[in-house]
Structure 1
Amino acid sequence: MSLPERPANLPHPEYQTPRGVSPLQSVRGAGLEYPNYTPFKLPNLALKSFTDRGLSAHPEKSSLLSAVSSITHLTPEIGTELSGIQLTALNDPQKNDLAALVAERGVVFLRDQDLDVHQQIEFAAYFGALHIHQMAGIIPDLPWVHPIYKDETAVNGRSHQIWHSDVSYELQPPGLTMLRMDTLPHAGPGGGVAGGDTIWASGYAIYESLSPKLRAFLETLEAKHSGLEQAEKALRTNGCLRRDPIETIHPVVRTHPVTGWKTLYINENFTKEIVGLEKRVGDILLDTLYRTIAEGYEFQVRWKWTPNAVAIWDNRATFHTGIFDYFPHLRHGLRVAPQAEKPYLDPNSKTRREALQEKMEDEKTV
């Protein structure tokens, strides 16, 4: 595979990230700001056709799972760690199986992955058109990469510690999303590597934990997701804005196209209001759901990073937050996010538990 076609007007055309080198070193070594906020313009995003790779997976995901040395389900509800494989060695059927596993388990983890940023981009591009963030810092020649970077200058870093789904205000927010951490904070006792864990929560499990009456009500609702505050902050802090900021209406409950399961789809970062409800009532409902996400520990998995570990999660069916407990130490990783379908609710879809129970009953009758 090769890299996607680069936008024509990227800044710093003289710069190229060398293969096998972290941009954390190479960009600054070239005398450029990192992450880079040099302004450039992109066309506004428009709806594109999308077919999830997980739809082509084997029902048992046998191509992938037969190649691993171990499979560890980290909690009953969410999170699976695979050992014994390198992502760069996977063939297309194995990638399809991986997409289906991520769709089912919410997030899949792999340690000790030997891939550079170019290989990460190439791998992620198999799953869909790569998202370029409207205002976040980038690598100058690789705009699809969102550097996850905090150091001694991140004095307000704790303000980012909010449960969210990435850029849910987009017309087609990301689905499968990939983060590789290459530099971890030495924030432990005696300068040991510690801190900067990430927590994910299952939208499937949280949704099915709600009462049937509340679920039925939520399925009638839509919510406004907004990128305006993020855009205003960028302009206020001398950042850059690459596209016209948008607000988008999405269903409060959406259906995953691979699993067919319903999942809660609101988040504290970008969901601003419930459409058609009095704001006071809508805000109370949203706050209740946000608290369920944050306090539902049985629906969460906490991941302790190691160098070159990778997390691949489904941004449609999970929420996540990074733990900012390492100031003023350095933490750095690279995230790439393929866009997925426009969120929708299939009225015939089921909760995860309902679907699995139905499958078990069908198997008994065969």
Structure 2
Amino acid sequence: MTRQPPEPRLPTRPAGLPHPKYVTPRGVSPLVAVREAGLQYPNYTPFTLPNLTETPFVDRGLQGDPALPHLREAATAVIHLTPAIGTEIVGLQLTALTAAQKDELARLVAERGVVFFRDQAMDVHEQIAFAAYYGDLHIHQMAGIIPDLPWVHPIHKDETAVHGRSHQIWHSDVSYELQPPGLTLLKMDTLPHAGPDGALAGGDTIWASGYALYEGLSPKLRAFLETLEARHSGLEQAEKARRTNGCLRRDPIETVHPVVRTHPVTGWKTLYVNENFTKEIVGLEKRVGDGLLDTLFRTVAEGYEFQVRWKWTPNAVAIWDNRATFHTGIFDYFPHLRHGLRVAPQAERPHLDPDSVTRKESIAAAQQGQHGKQGEAAAP
């Protein structure tokens, strides 16, 4: 008798979800299942959630072995795609990872910014359970959802996305929240046939390293930025919801975060402003603050040596650290369909540790320490 795998353990569903009789079947893309049930997809049926409050968070990456022995022994290959950002792991199924491997994966994502896997046999229920290992799952204030799985943000554009290019902006997700997401997992299951003669092409995603962008700035500018805070706002997003689908689940929020934050696993400083949600530098004259933000936004967009561009294949997965990267999808496939599912565990409230260092400083110190140990070993 074949033993069936255990059902994925999902978080407790919030009360008052719309369409309470709908259930997404296992192993079926909600892109198909929700529509077959006669419901809107992505679903914008209004329901109300309590406002988010700050909750304790401990990053799983802190438990991961920096040498990644469990991941490396199981993988066929570990391929670093650029010097600054992006690693592909070959030969692993995310659903089969042990707790030790998951912790090492969190550490690797913290260091490399984004880690990629291809050909993942993971349905949406397994994706939710996997992401929930890393923290409380975020439910978006206004984006479309799967009716019974509100933690999932469908990434969906088709022939109706006539204004899709307006979303092609460098950002980190929902940075206006008190505790914005940390690790974020996106699986693409439907890719556009936008190439010549209907070839599978289009819809790549680009990520940029906040660590590398920050350490590329001049020391004087870095020192100044570390004294600053910025206002991140979800008000425009909320107003868009009111104008269009009328779906706003929580009170809109604005939050002040440091312009430079420290990652709790690496201890590295990273730039933390983004064009989508950062509206002003607190305490600076508006024209000065706006000029500074514009400079930083252009630095993100034009720092090509700190970017990695990922060409999706069906059932590929990207796991990135929303605290230390920026990303943008390339909208070059209209009017073709592109669909994926994103799940995002919340992390800690952004903060700057005054004793933290840049990535390069940390690596240099580690190398110096290694040289010192070698010298001690060679001494008579």
Which interval holds the TM-score relative to the shorter structure? Answer: over 0.9
- How far did residue 137 of structure 1 move? 0.2
Q: Is residue 144 of structure 1 aligned with residue 151 of structure 2? A: yes
Q: Deviations over 1:127-184 (max 9, x none)?
A: 0000000000000000000000000000000000000000000000000000000000
- How far did residue 199 of structure 1 move? 0.1
Aligned to 2:311: 304
| Higher alpha-carbon deviation: 291-300 or 236-245 | 236-245
Aligned to 2:353: 346
1:314 partner letter: D
Aligned to 2:5: none
Paired residue total: 366
1:224 to 225, 231, 253: 231
2:139 to 116, 132, 138: 132
- How far did residue 59 of structure 1 move? 2.3
Aligned to 2:252: 245
Q: How does 1:275-314 map to 2 (within 5 A)?
A: 275-314=282-321
- How far did residue 45 of structure 1 move? 0.2
Aligned to 2:22: 15
Aligned to 2:106: 99
C-alpha distance in structure 1 between counterparts of 2:310 and 2:241, whole Å? 30
Percent identity between matched residues is 78
Q: How does 1:1-366 map to 2 (within 5 A)?
A: 1-366=8-373
C-alpha distance in structure 2 between counterparts of 1:45 and 1:359, whole Å? 39
C-alpha distance in structure 1 between counterparts of 2:259 and 2:341, whole Å? 29
C-alpha distance in structure 2 between counterparts of 1:74 and 1:61, whole Å? 18
- How far did residue 238 of structure 1 move? 2.8
C-alpha distance in structure 1 between counterparts of 2:15 and 2:300, whole Å? 41
Aligned residue for 2:153, secondary structure, equals strand
- How far did residue 50 of structure 1 move? 0.2
C-alpha distance in structure 2 between counterparts of 1:199 and 1:143, whole Å? 26
C-alpha distance in structure 1 between counterparts of 2:359 and 2:185, whole Å? 24
Aligned residue for 2:367, secondary structure, equals helix
- Please tell me whether Structure 1 or Structure 2 has the larger radius of gyration of its CA atoms: 2
Q: Deviations over 1:241-288 (max 9, x none)?
A: 000000000000000000000000000000000000001000000000
Aligned residue for 1:310, secondary structure, equals strand
- How far did residue 67 of structure 1 move? 0.8
Aligned residue for 2:74, secondary structure, equals coil
- How far did residue 63 of structure 1 move? 1.0
| Higher alpha-carbon deviation: 133-142 or 237-246 | 237-246
- How far did residue 365 of structure 1 move? 1.1
Aligned residue for 1:290, secondary structure, equals helix
**What is the TM-score normalised by the length of structure 2?**
0.96
Root-mean-square deviation (CA, aligned residues, Å) is: 0.5
- How far did residue 239 of structure 1 move? 2.9
C-alpha distance in structure 1 between counterparts of 2:140 and 2:337, whole Å? 22
Aligned residue for 1:35, secondary structure, equals coil
1:295 partner letter: E
C-alpha distance in structure 2 between counterparts of 1:302 and 1:58, whole Å? 28
C-alpha distance in structure 2 between counterparts of 1:279 and 1:155, whole Å? 33
C-alpha distance in structure 2 between counterparts of 1:190 and 1:49, whole Å? 52
C-alpha distance in structure 2 between counterparts of 1:93 and 1:25, whole Å? 35
Aligned residue for 1:205, secondary structure, equals helix
C-alpha distance in structure 1 between counterparts of 2:192 and 2:251, whole Å? 35
Aligned residue for 1:66, secondary structure, equals helix
- How far did residue 65 of structure 1 move? 1.5
C-alpha distance in structure 2 between counterparts of 1:95 and 1:301, whole Å? 23
